[in-house]
Amino acid sequence: MTIFFSVVVLISSLSLIVSVVMQEGSESGLGAIGGGSEPLFGKSRGTSREDMLKRITVISAVIFIISTLVLAAK
């Protein structure tokens, strides 16, 4: 079981690194403070490349944290 979670940590960490590196930087800063030009819920909710990368990043981070905690508990 330890080998399984070690492989899960490895895969999730690699996907987390790749998804963060592939994301584009935002030059506008904090949209809530600076009055960003893009609305909160745009026309293409969840269909753009940036949204897909954000979703992959969040899912990879959650899997990484959970599997790391499971490994630490053993």
Q: How far is the C-alpha of 23 from the C-alpha of 56, rounded, in Å?
A: 11
Q: Which domain holds residue 65?
A: 46-74
Residue 5 located in a structural domain: no
Greater confidence (26 vs 7) lies with: 7
Residue 29 located in a structural domain: no
Q: How many domains does the chain have?
A: 1
Residue 1 CB partners (closer than 8 Å, separation 6+) = 74
Residue 60 located in a structural domain: yes
Q: How far is the C-alpha of 54 from the C-alpha of 48, rounded, in Å?
A: 10
- The pLDDT of residue 33 is 52
pLDDT tens digit sequence for 12-68: 999 999 999 998 876 655 445 544 455 555 555 557 888 999 999 999 999 999 999
Residue 37 located in a structural domain: no
Residue 57 located in a structural domain: yes
Residue 1 located in a structural domain: no
Residue 50 CB partners (closer than 8 Å, separation 6+) = 23, 24
Q: 13 with 64: CB under 8 angstroms?
A: yes
- The pLDDT of residue 24 is 80
pLDDT tens digit sequence for 12-27: 999 999 999 998 876 6
